[in-house]
Amino acid sequence: MGLTRQSTGAGLSQGKGALDKTVPGDLIVALAGNPNTGKTTLFNSLTGLNQHTGNWPGKTVTGARGRYRYRGCGFTLVDLPGTYSLLANSPEEEVARDFICFGHPDAVVVVADATCLERNLNLALQVLEITGRVVLCVNLMDEAERKRISIDLPRLSECLGVPVVGTNARDSHGLEALKEAVLMVASGRSPFRPLVPRYSAPVERAVSLLEPSIRETLKGRINSRWVALRLLDQGPPFLEQMRRQLELEPPDLAALTARLEQSPLLAGSQQQSIWMDEIASSLVGAAEAIGRSVVSLEHREYQHFDRKLDRLLTSRLFGIPLMIALLGIVFWITIAGANYPSEALAAGFFWAEERLGAALLAAGAPAWLHGILVLGVFRTLGWVVSVMLPPMAIFFPMFTLLEDLGYLPRVAFNLDNFFKKACAHGKQALTMCMGFGCNAAGVISCRIIDSPRERLIAVLTNNFVPCNGRFPILISLALIFMVGGAGPLQTPAAAAAVLGAVVSGVLMTLAVSRCLSKTILKGLPSSFTLELPPYRKPLVGQILIRSLLDRTLFVLGRAVLVAAPAGAVIWLAANIDLGGASLLDRGAGILQPFAYLLGLDGYILMAFLLGLPANEIVIPIAIMSYMATGAMTEPATLEELRLLLVEHGWTWLTALCTMLFTLNHFPCATTLLTIYKETRSLKWTLTAFLVPTATGIVLCFTVAQAVRLLGLI
């Protein structure tokens, strides 16, 4: 997937609870809904922002904020995390519930999926219990039409007592009507009388006992009926949350506690779970009744194709093999398509380098300045861009295509059992997939995991999946040493070798996750609900824009910012003489004995250390060291690179150990910084550095010594 301005939240305000208005006088509108209803797409269409969207649930884990204007009024729109209920059993539910309850929005837009309206109405009814300022947005009307699903929107509006608008956010259909409805509700001019869900006699009797004292204590700050219901089904824990949010005084808290203790006895029930079941079943029943009255299906088996495809893609027999085959095809297309563009970019940068160098020398610049700026900074940038840009420009659109099709949740479904056996969370499969583009993005995506323990495991192990910056190393070494004699099948063979490396990275992720869960992060895997969204037709234009302009250029920009100063430092290390040898040579000499034990040499290990800012510059540093040029140099062909490496003692074992260490070594600087921002802990950031590094050292040492002991080299 890749690290983007949107995945990091740049330009968006985050938070929960009360909201400071972006502009004084703005009307606050909350955007709530089940996961994967197109809520974030609607947010983008209304505000003009580009928060990340995709056909899988759980991307929004904090409230993103944007603005739009309509008829002279300003609106601040808050995109709440997707949630199935407001019972606050997860961080997403807590964020959504707290903002709707305590953030005082002027209106709440509940986004529902037109293809499964009945299930979505459950959340709408829960929101109506809190506030009557609701607009129901029935999204994905185009998909409902394609599946021959008809929805009587006027009848639905009559049943709920709120405005109901049908939309298709992807092509902005129905947005004007939605804006008009939001303006009407937020400004208090709605003629509707919102539905108040009713329950069985015992529940209503208990509510009537609690509500008067709640109304007197809270003085209208929050819906007293809703508070009474939550006290019944959640008890003292919810009372404590109210105390924190509303700053209740001790006498008020004591009065509510006493009243709560009385209500179960007077209503004829001693068990809190009974209240919860009674309330939940009543809401489900009401949603079913409303759904049946407004939805008509021309074909009952409207999801027949999706189910048939899912039986194949998620089957125990074919699910994993098809997933591996699909990933192999993606790698093959990436490798085959990136060669010529990379060569063209490298030639262009070489041409520009000559002109820049000539201009500096003509201006009388000293040799050291020419070396730092041209041979250090510019050449490093040229290498990073020419190596990274073509593969990313191919990989990201294909990955986004799979994402928009709805395949990523199927990957998580296939791998869920493996992660459960590793005592990790099934959603870690999604965060792992995002790491293919950029490990920093994979770390950020770990927010979708509810459990702090399992989220931390996902953060610490995300680096075992090779990111886009490590693919060039794997591809080059696979082409040179692993499949050199494959002839016309060289590209597919290289793709197979890289796929094997990726699969080994996934296996290592599972192994280390289990090890962490049995040692420093002990615990049992938590259960979770994974929604398999319908397969949707991708919008090619949006895919190209989002993947190329947003993801590719954003990741490339971050790499360039890191690589530029690194190029200057590396040039200085290669050109500062210390007793007849450069600092780079001295460092490599010190590392040589240890590197030999790992099947490497001192220059390779030094290249990994100096490549901390960006994985893309590891091989260029090693080549620069071997060629003793004092500047990073790219051989004209892979054959020249092979001869250079063999001349300096490389064998298939060296290549294998280098590939293993590429897969299992410390994260790049950007990822480490992201880990620190996510965990707010130097301890866990250091652990994220040490765990993959120690794993790589053990693996390389074991392989190198076993090969030498068996006399295979």
% of residues, the chain, pLDDT over 70: 86
404-422 average pLDDT score: 85
Q: Does residue 33 register a pLDDT over 80?
A: yes
Contact present, 147 and 95 (Cβ < 8 Å): no
Q: What is the pLDDT of residues 453-478, one digit of tens each?
A: 999 999 999 999 988 778 778 877 88
pLDDT of residue 174: 92
Q: Does residue 218 register a pLDDT over 80?
A: no
Q: Does residue 11 register a pLDDT over 50?
A: no
Q: What is the pLDDT of residues 70-83, one digit of tens each?
A: 998 999 999 888 88
Q: What is the pLDDT of residues 377-389, one digit of tens each?
A: 888 788 778 777 8
Q: Which residue has 């030999």 as its token pair?
A: 596
pLDDT of residue 211: 84
pLDDT of residue 550: 67
Q: Does residue 517 register a pLDDT over 80?
A: yes
Between 220 and 652, the higher pLDDT residue: 652
Between 675 and 384, the higher pLDDT residue: 675
148-177 average pLDDT score: 93
**SS3 state of residue 110:** strand
Torsion angle defined by CA atoms of residues 511, 514, 520 and 523, in that order, rounded to the nearest 10 degrees? 170
pLDDT of residue 485: 56
Contact present, 424 and 513 (Cβ < 8 Å): yes
SS (H, E, C) 46-81: HHCCCCCCCCCCCCCCCCEEEEEEECCEEEEEEECC
Could you give the CA distance from residue 462 to residue 663 in angstroms, rounded to a whole number?
Answer: 11
Q: What is the pLDDT of residues 275-295, one digit of tens each?
A: 777 888 889 899 999 999 999
pLDDT grade, residue 660 (50/70/90)? very high
Could you give the CA distance from residue 211 to residue 262 in angstroms, rounded to a whole number?
Answer: 13
Q: In 3D, which of 528, 413, 532 has the Cα closest to residue 92?
A: 528
pLDDT grade, residue 654 (50/70/90)? very high
pLDDT grade, residue 413 (50/70/90)? confident
pLDDT of residue 1: 36
pLDDT of residue 120: 92
The first and second tokens of residue 677, run together, are: 């921002």
Q: What is the pLDDT of residues 234-274, one digit of tens each?
A: 777 777 777 777 777 777 777 777 776 665 554 444 456 67
Q: Does residue 390 register a pLDDT over 70?
A: yes
CB neighbours of residue 11 within 10 Å: 13
% of residues, the chain, pLDDT over 90: 28
pLDDT of residue 16: 41
Between 586 and 338, the higher pLDDT residue: 586
Could you give the CA distance from residue 701 to residue 713 in angstroms, rounded to a whole number?
Answer: 15
Among the listed ranges 30-39, 49-58, 339-348, which one has the minimum average pLDDT value? 49-58
Contact present, 463 and 422 (Cβ < 8 Å): no
Q: Does residue 514 register a pLDDT over 90?
A: yes
Domain ranges in the chain are: 27-186, 201-270, 319-709
Q: Identify the burial level of 336 via C-beta atoms within 10 angstroms of its C-beta, where 0-12 means exposed, 13-18 middle and 19 or more buried.
A: middle
CB neighbours of residue 20 within 10 Å: 9
Contact present, 665 and 696 (Cβ < 8 Å): yes
Could you give the CA distance from residue 654 to residue 704 in angstroms, rounded to a whole number?
Answer: 9
Q: Does residue 302 register a pLDDT over 70?
A: no
Q: Which residue has 């192990």 as its token pair?
A: 461
Q: Does residue 412 register a pLDDT over 50?
A: yes
| Dihedral (CA of 404, 406, 408, 411) sign | negative
pLDDT of residue 642: 81
Q: Give the single-character DSSP code of 377.
A: I
Contact present, 468 and 391 (Cβ < 8 Å): yes
Which class is 27-186 in CATH?
Answer: alpha beta
pLDDT of residue 244: 75
Q: What is the pLDDT of residues 135-157, one digit of tens each?
A: 999 999 988 888 888 999 999 99
pLDDT grade, residue 638 (50/70/90)? low
502-512 average pLDDT score: 92
What average pLDDT is seen over the chain? 82
pLDDT grade, residue 666 (50/70/90)? very high
Q: For residue 75, report the phi and psi dihedrals to the nearest 5 degrees.
A: -125, 130
Contact present, 309 and 535 (Cβ < 8 Å): yes
Q: What is the pLDDT of residues 529-572, one digit of tens each?
A: 677 777 777 777 777 777 777 667 776 776 677 677 877 888 88
Between 169 and 628, the higher pLDDT residue: 169
What's the maximum distance between 2 C-alpha atoms anywhere in the chain?
94
pLDDT of residue 9: 37
pLDDT of residue 628: 59
pLDDT of residue 186: 93
Contact present, 607 and 619 (Cβ < 8 Å): yes
Between 698 and 414, the higher pLDDT residue: 698
